[in-house]
Structure 1
Amino acid sequence: MRKFEETSTIAPPRSAIGTVLAEVRRSPLFTLIVFVPVVFLFEQVFPEAHTWLFVLSIAAIVPLAALLSRATESVAAKTGDAVGGLLNATLGNLTELVISLAALQAGQYLLVKASIAGAIVTNTLFMLGGAFLIGGLKHHLQEFNRVNARFQASLLFLATIAILVPSLISEVDRTPAVAFSQKLSLGLAILLIAVYGLGMLFSLRTHRELFASAGHADVDEAPWSLPVGTVVLTVVTLLVAMVSEIFVGSVQVAAQHLGMTPAFVGFIVVALVGGAAEMTSAFSAARANRLDLSVGIALGSAAQIALFVAPVLVLVSYFIGPEPMSLQFWPGAVAMMLIATMAASLLSNGGHAAWYAGVMALAVYAIFALTLFLLPPGTGQ
């Protein structure tokens, strides 16, 4: 009997490829994975068909984002929601980083800054609001760790202040030298990266007991093994980066053909496409009643963009850009980031969420999107 029990509890070995193929067959969304080789082939045959490349690259990122979500959930199940949220935010932000680096090298600083501001606003309003809405519709009322959410919101507020200062000085002082703005941005970039590193030390090492999950997850199916999840994370992240390069190369011309301005493209389109992987993970986690993971992904990703990605782009601009990039944003972008940060603080203050809180956050995001589409910012430095 003991021998039978031991053999019956051991699952047959399964390769990473077999596991992923089984997942693709189970979910119709994963059938869109065929667009990944299609977009690569189309880019080789019709490199000037920018509008089609734009559409195909978006269609290819969607299933990759879903696979990335599934793999991240499996890894998060082994590491905990705090580390899982940080891992998902880091991998998800690779898309924004690749897009921004390509635009930075081309000297399109308006697109870079619009994508940074848009990613912060999209994560704090659209992603967090969508998670509250989707999770609330299924579970009525959900709980999450208020300490973790307020910690991420505080980091985001600090970074927003650092972005506000160069922009505010440019408005108050009539003669700010370009060199001064660049030096100030360089110093702020180094400071923000240091603060972000210390924040990770605080949340993951010295005070990690404060960031334990508050909710109870609904586990519908067994997650992938840690090796399978890690392999899929690595491969899919590389594919997302490659597709993102095609997206960057086609987005500007396609936007002109579709009647969209560079500011709207950077603030809305690039932010939504770049954050597709994180959004899929956040929404899926909220539906599984793992709102701590959703909040960690949304606010953690926004804080990481503001405290790490944006400062890194400032540093990298000294090497690959036509000239150093500053942290000076146009007033409209600063105002939207401040409002989004305030909204995140209000939404995370209670430690619980219902579906209507998500509706209000999504409504604020819709106001921003409509404003940018109808009256986009005309300047940006």
Structure 2
Amino acid sequence: MRQSIFFSLAIFTVLLSAFAQYFTSSTGFQFASASIAIIFLAGLLGKATESVAHYAGDRIGGFLNATFGNAAELIIAIFLIKEGLFEMVKASITGSIIGNLLLVLGLSLLAGGVKYKFQHFNPILAGHNASLMLLGVIALFIPAIYLGQLEQNSILTLSFVVAGVLILSYILWLIFSMITHKEELADNVHEGSKAVWSLRISIFLLVIATFFVAVESEWLVAGVEEVAESLGWSELFVGAFLIAIIGNAAEHSAAILLAIKNRIGASVEIAIGSSLQIALFVGPVLVFISLLFGNPMDIVFSPIELTAIAVSAFIAKSISRDGMTNWFEGVLLLVVYIILGTAFFFVS
């Protein structure tokens, strides 16, 4: 019954957004309705991937959740690139990384820790994830360091090289974690619990929800500049927090629900795995996608963005290194997120 109500709400919000888009002229209403629709569609993605995890295990389920959850982020970013809003794209990448490492993981540890005194996950997987996150931080720092010493063409070339190497690293990580060393990094398959939907229906819902997220994302981006200007918010804050939170709603819902069910391994995989996917794959892919629009985007991030990513990676690595969590560690992550959010809000 609960799933049918949730599914009905997703359909209703999509219809409401379509009505706002075609029958009203209010940019604010169009933006708000598209945002709400994306949140419900992302939640549907989360429930569908949670169902898949019952059949495939937490490792595969978490990877699918991160992938389909990041589909919303990727689609929104593509439309932002089409409009030439590169700073907002980079801000959304930053926001997605820190949002998953601090907000999603923090809420998951807090929600699960309130119910369970301690929760455990694979420490070997946590160690590899931490190393990969540091790789992403290093790769993003290099172009920014040499910005003042290289010509624009050289910066673009360096950006494409860095992006290509990061994509290759991510592909090799998937081979390592899911093929050559999958036994050491695997979590349990939850055969004893009841799935929400069958595997076939779950995959069908993943595809349908992703399609409508693409439609809603185009409507969202159409009004984002006007809404940001009317609210007096900078592109940095809108991209790093508003767009990032909307685009990653799937991870927000699924990771927290799984943590409450004492499946913290899947929650950690969703949160940290999604950040890795953004840093090592989605962000670099966007650099190459920008070529399709005839206006290449570099991979140079601002100092405040790099600082936020580095700080988030450091504290997430510190908390997840022992393979055991509690509610207070969740609070620590949320505190850092609030501090960064406040700093981003006051940056013009």
TM-score normalised according to structure 1 size: 0.87
Provide Cα deviations, 1:73-116, integer angstroms capped at 9, x if missing partner.
11111111111111111111111111111111111110111111
Partner of 1:341: 313
In structure 1, distance between residues paired with 2:181 and 2:194: 31
Aligned residue among 152, 158, 165 for 2:142: 165
Which structure is larger by alpha-carbon Rg, 1 or 2? 1
In structure 1, distance between residues paired with 2:91 and 2:342: 15
Provide Cα deviations, 1:311-366, integer angstroms capped at 9, x if missing partner.
111111122142x2111111110111111111111111111111111111000000
Tell me whether 1:140 sits opposite 2:117 in the alignment. Answer: yes
In structure 2, distance between residues paired with 1:135 and 1:30: 28
Tell me which amino acid in the other structure corresponds to 1:41: F
In structure 1, distance between residues paired with 2:16 and 2:301: 37
Deviation for aligned residue 1:278: 1.4
CA RMSD, Structure 1 to Structure 2 (Å)? 1.9
Provide Cα deviations, 1:115-173, integer angstroms capped at 9, x if missing partner.
11111111111111111011111122111111112212211210111110000112xxx
In structure 2, distance between residues paired with 1:118 and 1:321: 26
Which region of structure 1 is more displaced relative to structure 2, 240-249 or 354-363?
240-249
In structure 2, distance between residues paired with 1:113 and 1:44: 30
Partner of 1:64: 41
Matches within 5 A, 1:160-309: 160-170=137-147, 174-213=148-187, 221-309=194-282
In structure 2, distance between residues paired with 1:62 and 1:113: 21
Aligned residue among 37, 52, 59 for 2:15: 37
Partner of 1:4: none
In structure 2, distance between residues paired with 1:75 and 1:153: 26
Partner of 2:301: 329
3-state SS of 1:107 partner: coil
Unaligned runs of 5+ in 2: none
Q: Structure 1 vs Structure 2: percent identity of aligned residues?
A: 37
Asked whether the equivalents of residues 121 and 324 of structure 2 are also in contact (C-alpha less than 8 Å), the reply is yes
Tell me whether 1:123 sits opposite 2:100 in the alignment. Answer: yes
Are the structure 2 counterparts of residues 286 and 219 from structure 1 closer, same or farther at C-alpha, using a change threshold of 3 Å?
Answer: farther
Deviation for aligned residue 1:232: 1.1
Partner of 2:289: 316
In structure 2, distance between residues paired with 1:86 and 1:354: 23
3-state SS of 2:146 partner: helix
Deviation for aligned residue 1:220: 6.8
Partner of 2:339: 367
Tell me whether 1:105 sits opposite 2:70 in the alignment. Answer: no
Partner of 1:24: 4
Partner of 1:8: none
Tell me which amino acid in the other structure corresponds to 1:64: L
Unaligned runs of 5+ in 1: 1-20, 377-381
Which region of structure 1 is more displaced relative to structure 2, 86-95 or 152-161?
152-161
Asked whether the equivalents of residues 281 and 294 of structure 1 are also in contact (C-alpha less than 8 Å), the reply is yes
Partner of 1:77: 54
In structure 2, distance between residues paired with 1:290 and 1:77: 11
In structure 2, distance between residues paired with 1:219 and 1:96: 33
TM-score normalised according to structure 2 size: 0.95
In structure 2, distance between residues paired with 1:349 and 1:202: 19
Are the structure 2 counterparts of residues 64 and 130 from structure 1 closer, same or farther at C-alpha, using a change threshold of 3 Å?
Answer: same
Provide Cα deviations, 1:21-47, integer angstroms capped at 9, x if missing partner.
77223x5x963641111101210122x
